[in-house]
Structure 1
Amino acid sequence: MPTDALLDRFLTGLAPLTPVAVWAHGSLAGGDYREGRSDLDLITVLDRPVTARTVWRVAVLHARLRNEPLADRLHCTYLTPDTAPDAERRHLTWAHEQLFERTVTPVTRAELHRFGRVLRGVPPADVLPPVPDGELAAFVVRDQRDFWRREVDRDAHWTQDVWVDLGLLTFARATVTVREGRLISKREALAVLADLGAPDEVVADIRRRRYEDPAPPDGEWVLRRARLTRDYLGPAIDSLVARAG
């Protein structure tokens, strides 16, 4: 299986950096992973501070993997035991075939605690403090209000599959988190969308593309899908934010 082969190569290449732990989150840990479609979302905890030499070694590691199947989908953020508890801190990250820095969000931290998959070393609870329910709910509402609501008004996005899928699935997942304090998978989010009044045609389209292998959509449907998605998502986000106060 290409996923297992890539993870084995990654873990072997990572060994000289003596990681304290390597964890998977997202679909790879949550039971909804689709090979070739889902990302491989990882967190590595290193045993020493990140220096310029560390950055170079991480870059070399990922460069050596670049020709492996699925390597473009492998994303990894690098923490240390000292930096991991700081939820606002930006950490060295490899994603989208480049190095940059980003935070480990409350959603990711909560996923790691609730269903994180330990690939090497100690479990997340040994390194990361728990995420209070209020902090998690506040984050997902803020993400809907400050990012997704703004992006709904940018029409160029919504002719792309990835924006339709993530926009609707992230909204459904945020809604369940706010209402019930739970984290759900993308598969579960598809079922929730129907109950939330999302357009049936669009939900069916996402399901086909995620779990089947349909022909590419034609241009007329792409434009109709974009309109249906934006017409639904804008008011839906506004209502969620208003209810959350």
Structure 2
Amino acid sequence: MQTEALLDRFLGALAPLGPLAVWAHGSLAGGDHQEGRSDLDLIAVLPGPVRPGTVWRVAVLHQGLRADPLAAKLHCSYLTPATVADSGHRHLTWAHQELMRRPVTPVTRRELHTFGRVLHGGAPGGLLPEVPDRELAEFVVSDQRDFWRPAVDRAQLWTRDVWVDMGPVTFARATVTLREGRLISKREALEELPGLGAPAEIVEDIRRRRYGGPAPVPSGEGWRVRRAELVRGWLGPAIDALVAAYA
């Protein structure tokens, strides 16, 4: 399996940095991973401060993996014992083939505790504090209100597959988390979407692109424009109603 081969290469390249633990979250840990389509979402806990030399070594490590066709989907945030408990800390992260700094969100932290996959070292429970239900719910509401709702108003975004794929699925996952206090997979989110009023054409469009199917995925400029109108016309009011109910 190409994914496992890439993970082995990654762990081997990371070994000189002496990681205390490496964990997978997202679909790779949750059992819904689609090779070649899904991201490889990882967390590494390094033993000491992330100094400029560490940043350089991390960059070299990831650049060395780029020949692998799946490497562009491998994302990893680098924590340390001094920063692991701070959910607002912006950790060194390799994502989308570049270095950046971003927090490890309460959703990711809850995923790690619930179904995180240990690739190396200790389990998340030994290093990572639990996420209180209130903190998780507040983050989910703010993500819908402050990120996704303004994005709905940016019409040009929704002609792109990635926004159509992620917006409705994230909304369905947010709804179930707020309603029931649990996390669900993308596959489960697709099953939730019809009951949340999502247009059937949008749900099928996402399903075929992620999981394949007997019929071809629609294409062409006319479909992309119509698809954007459908998803935005539903998603904006749906987010407004969710935020009003749970804010």
The TM tier, using the shorter chain, reads: over 0.9
Instruction: Return the alpha-carbon distance in structure 1 between the equivalents of residues 139 and 122 of structure 2.
Output: 27
Instruction: Return the alpha-carbon distance in structure 2 between the equivalents of residues 116 and 25 of structure 1.
Output: 5
Q: Which residue number in structure 2 is paired with residue 130 of structure 1?
A: 130
Give how far 1:12 is off: 0.3
Q: Which residue number in structure 2 is paired with residue 177 of structure 1?
A: 177
Counterparts of residues 86-165 of structure 1 (less than 5 Å): 86-165=86-165
Alignment partner for residue 244 of structure 1, among 238, 243, 246? 246
Q: Which residue identity is paired with 2:50?
A: V
Q: Which residue identity is paired with 1:221?
A: W
Please tell me whether the aligned partners of residues 6 and 69 of structure 1 are also in contact (alpha carbons under 8 angstroms). Answer: no
Q: Which residue identity is paired with 2:221?
A: G
Q: Size of the alignment, in residue pairs?
A: 245
Q: Which residue number in structure 1 is paired with residue 236 of structure 2?
A: 234
Q: Say whether residues 1:220 and 2:214 are aligned partners.
A: no
SS of corresponding position for 1:23: strand
Instruction: Return the alpha-carbon distance in structure 1 between the equivalents of residues 83 and 209 of structure 2.
Output: 39
Please tell me whether the aligned partners of residues 208 and 217 of structure 2 are also in contact (alpha carbons under 8 angstroms). Answer: no
Give how far 1:241 is off: 0.3
Deviation by residue 1:84-132 (Cα, 9 ceiling, x = unmatched): 0011111000001111100000000000000000000000011110001
Instruction: Return the alpha-carbon distance in structure 2 between the equivalents of residues 169 and 198 of structure 1.
Output: 10
Deviation by residue 1:175-202 (Cα, 9 ceiling, x = unmatched): 0000000000000000000111110111
Give how far 1:222 is off: 1.2
Instruction: Return the alpha-carbon distance in structure 1 between the equivalents of residues 100 and 138 of structure 2.
Output: 26
Instruction: Return the alpha-carbon distance in structure 1 between the equivalents of residues 158 and 225 of structure 2.
Output: 8
Instruction: Return the alpha-carbon distance in structure 2 between the equivalents of residues 80 and 175 of structure 1.
Output: 32
Instruction: Return the alpha-carbon distance in structure 2 between the equivalents of residues 146 and 98 of structure 1.
Output: 25
Deviation by residue 1:14-50 (Cα, 9 ceiling, x = unmatched): 0000100000000100111011110000000001111
TM value normalised by structure 2: 0.97
Q: Which residue identity is paired with 1:49?
A: P
Q: Which residue identity is paired with 1:232?
A: W
Q: Which residue identity is paired with 2:237?
A: P
Instruction: Return the alpha-carbon distance in structure 2 between the equivalents of residues 79 and 215 of structure 1.
Output: 40
Instruction: Return the alpha-carbon distance in structure 1 between the equivalents of residues 193 and 94 of structure 2.
Output: 32
Instruction: Return the alpha-carbon distance in structure 2 between the equivalents of residues 10 and 61 of structure 1.
Output: 8
Instruction: Return the alpha-carbon distance in structure 1 between the equivalents of residues 107 and 116 of structure 2.
Output: 12
Q: Which residue number in structure 2 is paired with residue 49 of structure 1?
A: 49
Instruction: Return the alpha-carbon distance in structure 2 between the equivalents of residues 238 and 133 of structure 1.
Output: 22
Instruction: Return the alpha-carbon distance in structure 2 between the equivalents of residues 176 and 198 of structure 1.
Output: 15
Instruction: Return the alpha-carbon distance in structure 2 between the equivalents of residues 218 and 99 of structure 1.
Output: 34
Give how far 1:81 is off: 1.2
Give how far 1:217 is off: 1.3
> Which one is further off, 35-44 or 207-216?
207-216
CA change 1:58–1:183 in 2 (3 A) is same
Q: Which residue number in structure 2 is paired with residue 166 of structure 1?
A: 166
SS of corresponding position for 1:19: coil
Q: Which residue identity is paired with 1:191?
A: E
Give how far 1:215 is off: 4.5
Q: Which residue number in structure 2 is paired with residue 25 of structure 1?
A: 25
Q: Which residue identity is paired with 1:134?
A: R
**Structure 1 unaligned regions, length at least 5:** none
